[in-house]
Copies of this chain bind each other. A is one copy, B any other.
């Protein structure tokens, strides 16, 4: 860890910390006591959606803990803060409240704390097995923006569709290029995704035809969730931008490459991406990611002043993409990469987004852009992995893929590897349904 953290936060991150929930101490589990990601869930016992935190194989029901008087909240916080269908109300309380709740939970769940551990009746109410929980979209998303911040991805795409010798456009190295996405169609992991119909321009046709996308693809991304907005006309300075971030999720920016290719000039991708964007259900807080903070890649040329920050602003997050064909016994891991490769940091993305005066709001989602690494097996899209279909991928158990086929289930996974534990994101899963007739 490269910087001094407050001692209460530091204690929650101690690698040796254990929980009285045994499954939280599994060194390969995503949700140890060091993580404590926030989400929204319901279950068969109680259909009301409410706020929970994942630990081991369980969800801790924060509305139950608060109801039992075990969570101290800021004065004025509404009594039903955690009995909500989205985290926005909690997030709006601000960073001190997020940290305080996380610190209190870490204490309650620590091996030697008897309060909840030894209260069987409360435990019964407050702990729900993850396998019995239905996970919902964790936040109401007022705005969704997607960036394009992997140099390797931008170079690959530029090489394929423009000019391999000048693959990176001149503006790319000067700013985190981004565009407005469609917030309405952001769905939680597990939601099936229907293959879109649209206009396809086939090489042997003078006019486009209407039909089902033939080049359906994933984009392996992370997303960050705005925890503190900014007013119209008041940009967020790069040095303070991380103070505005609540946490991170995995994000699959489903993309119809053929629709995109025909529609995207001059105003950018639209129908190629508006049909669905999947995110993982657990928001991993920036606090939980602190031990995995690393230096971002060197930036050359040096960015303009409004995009400069001191210190380390990348995070060491291992990422994988898995594809399982309909009926297949096993999935094939088709890509392995790491978030630390990203050229532009989240702080730079947010500073750029707001430098015009644009306002952001609590719950806004900002996608990283496709995360591609330097090697051919580390690319974050099938477009790159198969080089636009020219080099199909072999699947375990037979078969091959240029692009996604109906019935394929795509899974993104991500985790930070600690010493004897991992801080994981869980998975972001989507299965493809055939296009509407």
Interface residue ranges, A against B (CB under 8 Å): 142-143, 148, 169, 171, 174-175, 177-185, 187, 194, 196-199, 201, 207-210, 232-233, 235, 256, 259, 262-272, 274-276, 301, 304-306, 352-353, 355-361, 364, 436
Contact = CB atoms under 8 A, between A and B. Distances in A.
Sorted from nearest, which 3 A-B pairs have the closest CB atoms? A268-B268, A274-B358, A180-B180
Contact of A436 (B179, B210, B233, B358): B233
A394 to B, nearest CB: 30
20 contacts: A142-B142, A143-B182, A175-B199, A178-B267, A179-B268, A180-B180, A180-B274, A184-B360, A184-B361, A184-B364, A185-B359, A197-B357, A210-B304, A210-B306, A233-B436, A256-B356, A271-B353, A274-B353, A274-B358, A275-B357
A235 B270 CA distance: 15
B174 A357 contact: no
Contacts of A268: 179, 264, 266-269
Nearest to A142: B184
B267 A208 contact: no
A92 B25 CA distance: 49
Contact of A185 (B187, B232, B235, B436): B232
B180 A181 contact: yes
A266 B185 contact: no
Given A183-B142, A199-B175, A267-B177, A274 B436 contact: no
Query: In the assembly, how many copies of this chain are there?
Result: 2
A352 B232 contact: no
Contact of A169 (B142, B175, B265): B265
A355 B185 CA distance: 13
A379 to B, nearest CB: 18
Contacts of A201: 171
With most chain B CB atoms within 10 A of its CB, the pick from A185, A194, A208, A267 is: A267
Given A174-B199, A181-B180, A184-B143, A207 B267 contact: no
Contacts of A275: 232-233, 356-358
Contacts of A355: 197-198, 271
Nearest to A175: B199
A263 B179 CA distance: 10
B267 A199 contact: no
A436 B271 contact: no
B269 A267 contact: yes
B175 A263 contact: yes
A275 B197 CA distance: 33
Contacts of A267: 148, 177-179, 264, 268-269
Contacts of A276: 232, 357
A141 to B, nearest CB: 9
